[in-house]
Chain A
Amino acid sequence: MKQISAFIQKELLECMRTGKCIFMLILFVIFGIMNPAFAKLTPWLIDIMSDSFSNMGLSVEKVTVDALTSWMQFCKNYPFTIIILLLMFCNTLSAEYQTGTLINVITKGMNRWKIVLSKSIVIFAFWTAGYLLIFGITYGYNAYFWDNNIVSCLAFFAVCYYLAGIWLISLMIFMSTVFNSNSSVILSVGGIFLGIYLIGMLPKIDKYLPWYLLDSSKLLINDGSISDYRFAVVITILSVIINIVAAVFCFSRKSTL
């Protein structure tokens, strides 16, 4: 436990000193503010564009925005958030392989599984804090401008999107233990995600895939019920555990550090 907490401290210190921490914090705040901002600015933008639309023969009616527009914007911005987080942390192990800094720690007697576990905890903590920040800011602005009660199942929707992020991060940690370079880690995570997205196009299987969690935005407009997502939630949680166990397994057998 002492070793894990020491390694977590080292990771956090590294994040602070390399500027990752502050950069991610500001970026999450910006993303959080942008969701309601886009929703609020939509009528104004359409108003400006309406002249050119009417020249093209399109008539624009008055657009009404509410909390739902803002939450839909949250769904659209979500992929950027998770992609930036993955890009920032894809070098978590590969940078250490390249500089050889892990060799000292391991020869001093640190168990390999503790390294993977503490790195995972730090990235999960970053995602949790960032997600709470984005969600909290969006929720706060929505409550101020509109009314959050018009959307249904908001809490479950939030958990689904959070879990999808956790799943992608666990996949990235697993891939970092398999491959040695940043680009292969990102490409393999992207490849697996694309593969699962394509499998998800098959109508009967899609409910069982982690990808399906991102479909939970339908719940906000009362389309479907929470029980539709029970398989996807269980499979995603299992998949996260399997990814971490596989990462520990691969890392303990890795010969090139």
Chain B
Amino acid sequence: MKYISEILPFLIPLIIAELVLFVFTIRHILTHENYKCGNRMLWIIVAIVGMGFIGPILYFTLGREDA
């Protein structure tokens, strides 16, 4: 219990930031029709499996269309 209260100061902002990033990524995938490669289903799965920051990074660097 002592440990948890010690890590709370960075655990809460980290979880909030990762959730915001996740929601932002899912919203971006759902509001865009075309991707550089792959399709909508693939990117949703990638974003969910790589939740945290790996999935969003993969989507924004490899999947997001430039235009």
Contact = CB atoms under 8 A, between A and B. Distances in A.
**A and B are partners in one complex rather than unrelated chains:** yes
Contacts of A237: none
A102 interface: no
Contact of B14 (A19, A20, A27, A37): A37
A22 interface: yes
Nearest to A91: B66
B53 A30 contact: yes
Interface majority SS on B: helix, strand, loop or mixed? helix
Nearest to B60: A23
Interface residues of A, number: 25
Interface in A5-60: 18-20, 22-23, 26-27, 29-30, 33-34, 36-37, 40-41, 44
B52 to A, nearest CB: 8
B14 A30 contact: yes
Contact of A27 (B10, B11, B57, B66): B57
B27 to A, nearest CB: 9
Contacts of B61: 84, 87-88
Contacts of A30: 14, 17-18, 21, 53
Interface in B10-37: 10-11, 13-14, 17-18, 20-21, 24-25, 28
Given A37-B14, A44-B3, A99-B67, A141 B9 contact: yes
Contacts of A18: 64, 66
B56 A40 contact: no
Given A44-B3, A95-B66, A26 B10 contact: no
Interface in A66-99: 84, 87-88, 91, 95, 98-99
Nearest to A92: B66
A246 B17 CA distance: 39
Interface of B: 3, 6-7, 9-11, 13-14, 17-18, 20-21, 24-25, 28, 53, 56-57, 60-61, 64, 66-67
Given A26-B21, A34-B14, 19 more contacts: A18-B64, A19-B60, A19-B64, A20-B60, A22-B24, A26-B17, A26-B24, A27-B21, A29-B13, A29-B17, A30-B18, A33-B13, A33-B17, A40-B6, A40-B7, A84-B61, A87-B61, A91-B66, A95-B67
9 contacts: A19-B24, A19-B28, A27-B57, A33-B10, A34-B14, A84-B57, A84-B61, A88-B60, A88-B61
Interface of A: 18-20, 22-23, 26-27, 29-30, 33-34, 36-37, 40-41, 44, 84, 87-88, 91, 95, 98-99, 141, 144
